[in-house]
Homo-oligomer: A and B are copies of this chain.
Amino acid sequence: MNIPYKIYLEESELPRQWYNVRADMKNKPAPLLNPATLAPASLDELSAVFCHDLAMQELDDTTALIDIPEEILNFYKMYRPSPLVRAYCLEKALGTPAKIYYKFEGNNTSGSHKLNSAIAQAYYAKKQGLKGVTTETGAGQWGTALSMACAYLGLDCKVYMVKVSYEQKPFRREVMRTYGANVTPSPSDTTNVGRKILSEFPGTTGSLGCAISEAVEAAVSTEGYRYVLGSVLNQVLLHQSVIGLETMAACDKYEIKPDVIIGCAGGGSNLGGLISPFMGRKLRGEADYQFIAVEPASCPSLTRGKFAYDFCDTGKVCPLAKMYTLGSGFIPSPNHAGGLRYHGMSSIVSQLYHDGLMEARSCEQTSVFEAAVQFARIEGILPAPESSHAIRVALDEALRCKETGEEKTILFGLTGTGYFDMVAYQKYNDGEMSDYIPTDEDIAASLANLPPTNEA
């Protein structure tokens, strides 16, 4: 069959249900724990933090298909389907017999796949009659996505932005403000946890874990607000399954059978969303695929972390999750892929990895940017540093095929664009970028402080 450069599904072919991979998992991901009692968090407990319907989705590990509400479908239609691209130019430039495809999620103002879950979470908040939502953002893609969703639905949006990003990425901040969001640099004096951190570490430039704690406190202490999160959670992977469902529909339509599926992994939202329906087929024994999660060598939770219950945030106010973790006190180097600088990993992705259903690799950032620039010049798209981790491994696989002569079909997720990451590109262009790999001692020290529940 003749494969076009870009495959766009028709509007009538768009998924109308999300796919919940937990329904097909034999070993379900472990439940979230209440940080106070260390017992599994109940619906009521989760509903104090999250919107009610989202808490339901968080706990539901049996329903395979969940209807996408009409209003979300209509929002999706403004920027979806995203294209599944055949990388003809890249294949030719590499001289590889491999066939390379990527699912490109960057063609929207948030610049990434984050919008898929932002609109869902904002919708359920609106449906519940809430006034607004709070969240944190690091690199800024999630905060931008949530701002867009809230502007569309007329919800208040309070974003705690890691202070170093707030100052270094003023344009990201300004996009959020353009969409009407209230953006506060974190740590701030607007929360107890923020004030505590500021007094203990005056002059700190903040961290994602700290911003999460502030956003959760702001949500639970303000009438009519709930907290929303852009990754890690089961509900987020559920919403992001729209990526994988579109990809699978496009593959099936054009009779494309991917051999290897690659995604970058920070909290796991893109990777989980992309692979979910394919993993479902694998779990049901209908097909087999090789899955590869790619993480930065500077923050290697899957490849060097421990599978254990851990706190999701610095302030320890969030529920605990069982996941591959480097310890909630782990301080990743200032790697330029801000979206991958998280100590933990989605419980679903962690369980699948633990069960040997997928692989993981880590890459150093200079080799990641080398791949990014090569890709940009050949395929035109300037990728986000996060996405470029997947590009790195896709290139490696394609070059391996060149050596062996294998005609593998390689599929990877291109999660977003790098337009707001030009400081990082400048460092690379000027030859001033370096790599950082934590020592075993660094990781062991951080893992020494896991919560007591793991000893049970």
- In the complex formed, the residue of B with least CB distance to A3 is B11
Contact across chains for B376 and A171 when beta carbons are under 8 A apart: no
Q: Flag whether A101 is at the interface (Cβ < 8 A).
A: no
Contact across chains for A376 and B109 when beta carbons are under 8 A apart: yes
Contact across chains for B152 and A79 when beta carbons are under 8 A apart: no
Q: Across the interface, which residues of B come within 8 angstroms of A334, CB to CB?
A: none
Instruction: Give Cα distance in the complex from A82 to B55, angstroms.
Output: 39
Give a binary string over A1-43; 1 marks a CB under 8 Å from any B CB, 0 the rest.
0001110101100000000000000000000000000000000
Find the residue from A8, A10, A151, A420 having the highest chain B CB count within 10 A: A8
Q: Across the interface, which residues of B come within 8 angstroms of A89, CB to CB?
A: 74, 78, 152
Contact across chains for B422 and A419 when beta carbons are under 8 A apart: no
Q: Flag whether A44 is at the interface (Cβ < 8 A).
A: no
Contact across chains for B4 and A377 when beta carbons are under 8 A apart: no
Q: Flag whether A429 is at the interface (Cβ < 8 A).
A: yes
Spot the interface stretch: A57-65, A175-183, A353-361, A445-453: A175-183
Secondary structure of the A side of the interface?
helix
Instruction: Give Cα distance in the complex from A283 to B361, angstroms.
Output: 61
Copies of this chain in the oligomer: 2
A93 smallest CB distance to B (angstroms): 10
Give a binary string over A187-217; 1 marks a CB under 8 Å from any B CB, 0 the rest.
0000000000000000000000000000000
- In the complex formed, the residue of B with least CB distance to A424 is B174
Find the residue from A10, A78, A151 having the highest chain B CB count within 10 A: A78
Contact across chains for B148 and A4 when beta carbons are under 8 A apart: no
Instruction: Give Cα distance in the complex from A342 to B5, angstroms.
Output: 36
Contact across chains for B78 and A379 when beta carbons are under 8 A apart: yes
Give a binary string over A44-83; 1 marks a CB under 8 Å from any B CB, 0 the rest.
0000000000000000000000000000001101110000
Give a binary string over A130-155; 1 marks a CB under 8 Å from any B CB, 0 the rest.
00000000000000000010011000
- In the complex formed, the residue of B with least CB distance to A426 is B174
Q: Flag whether A285 is at the interface (Cβ < 8 A).
A: no
Q: Flag whether A276 is at the interface (Cβ < 8 A).
A: no
Instruction: Give Cα distance in the complex from A77 to B8, angstroms.
Output: 12
Q: Across the interface, which residues of B come within 8 angstroms of A74, CB to CB?
A: 5, 88-89
Given known contacts A4-B77, A5-B77, A177 and B429 CB-to-CB distance under 8 angstroms: yes
Q: Across the interface, which residues of B come within 8 angstroms of A107, CB to CB?
A: 107
Q: Across the interface, which residues of B come within 8 angstroms of A431, CB to CB?
A: none
Select A380's contact among B5, B79, B177, B379, beta carbons within 8 Å.
Answer: B79
Instruction: Give Cα distance in the complex from A107 to B380, angstroms.
Output: 11
Interface residues of A in 361-403 (CB under 8 A from B): 373, 376-382
Q: Flag whether A108 is at the interface (Cβ < 8 A).
A: yes
| A-B contact sample (9 more), CB < 8 A, given A109-B417, A177-B429, A178-B376 | A4-B77, A5-B11, A5-B77, A5-B78, A6-B11, A148-B380, A178-B373, A178-B429, A179-B376
Query: Can you name 30 A-B residue pairings with CB atoms under 8 Å?
Result: A4-B10, A4-B77, A5-B77, A6-B78, A8-B8, A74-B88, A109-B376, A109-B380, A109-B381, A109-B417, A109-B419, A152-B378, A152-B380, A170-B422, A171-B171, A171-B419, A171-B423, A174-B422, A174-B425, A174-B426, A174-B429, A175-B422, A178-B373, A178-B376, A178-B382, A178-B425, A178-B429, A180-B377, A419-B419, A419-B420
